[in-house]
């Protein structure tokens, strides 16, 4: 199942994102806390609403008091962010053959943005495809050993490869402006930043580690 999570970060270039979401055609929509604002902005009716509702206007929440879907409210003092709770719920719906998109996971709060990027590890470990999107970036994570064919997204120029949680070894890039052959991407270095695809599609192989793949427009 295709699952869309709307959470409370900033979303620029909503027109471009709206087109992507329409093409994605999610079958289950989860609004996490102030992700309700983005749901209205995109004209989406959530199937599920969750969160502690501490960052969303209470008047907006009241609009959903007769909501026919699932509503789960958590206490503000909890060990997990609303986004993490939404990812866990989305993984149950998506299953191993499904996919999750997260919108609103980045913004002015760098702590939340970084946490949400690292949260991609959960679906990655479970074998569920997951992407984090905003108006300028698409972020996904792969776990070795892996072979991934990547296609150039519309309006995206750069592809950056960032090792996560340690070094990434055995990196081979085919169809890239800067190719690699069985290379090491060391953690804490910028070797994989701002590469580009030569054609519409390229291939990434890794032997060990977790690799973050970011397509960016500027």
CATH code for 136-218?
3.40.50.10240
Parts of the chain belonging to CATH 3.40.50.10240? 1-135, 136-218
pTM: 0.92
CATH code for 1-135?
3.40.50.10240
Cβ neighbours for 39, distance < 8 A, ≥ 6 positions apart: 6, 29, 31, 45, 46
Per-residue pLDDT of the chain (218 residues; tens, 9 = 90+): 999 999 988 887 566 888 889 899 999 999 998 899 898 888 899 999 998 888 777 777 777 777 778 888 888 788 889 999 999 999 999 998 899 999 999 988 899 999 999 999 999 999 999 999 998 899 999 999 999 999 988 878 999 999 999 999 999 999 999 999 999 999 999 999 999 999 999 999 999 999 999 999 87
pLDDT value at residue 135: 85
Residue 90 Cα distances to 12, 68, 74, 99, 217, angstroms: 23, 18, 17, 9, 27
Closest to 144 (Cα-Cα) out of 191, 205, 202: 205
pLDDT value at residue 88: 96
pLDDT value at residue 56: 76
């Amino acid at each position: 199942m295709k699952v869309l999570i709307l959470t409370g970060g900033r979303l620029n270039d909503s027109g471009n994102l709206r087109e992507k979401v329409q093409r994605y055609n999610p079958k289950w929509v989860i609004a996490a806390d102030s992700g309700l604002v983005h749901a209205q902005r995109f004209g989406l009716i959530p199937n599920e609403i969750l969160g502690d509702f501490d960052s969303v206007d209470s008047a907006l929440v009241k609009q959903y008091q007769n909501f026919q879907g699932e509503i789960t409210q958590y206490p503000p003092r909890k060990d997990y962010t609303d986004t993490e709770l939404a990812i866990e719920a989305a993984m149950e719906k998506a299953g191993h053959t499904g996919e999750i998109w997260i919108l609103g996971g980045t913004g002015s709060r760098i702590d939340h943005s970084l946490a949400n990027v690292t949260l991609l590890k959960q679906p990655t470990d479970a074998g569920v495809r997951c992407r984090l999107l905003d108006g300028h970036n698409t972020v996904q994570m792969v776990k070795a050993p892996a072979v991934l064919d990547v296609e150039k997204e519309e309006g995206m120029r750069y592809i950056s490869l960032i090792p996560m949680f340690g070094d990434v070894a055995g990196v081979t890039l085919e169809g890239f402006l800067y190719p690699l052959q069985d290379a090491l991407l060391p953690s804490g270095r910028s070797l994989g930043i701002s590469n580009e695809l030569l054609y519409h599609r390229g291939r990434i192989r890794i032997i060990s580690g977790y690799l973050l793949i970011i397509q960016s427009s500027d």
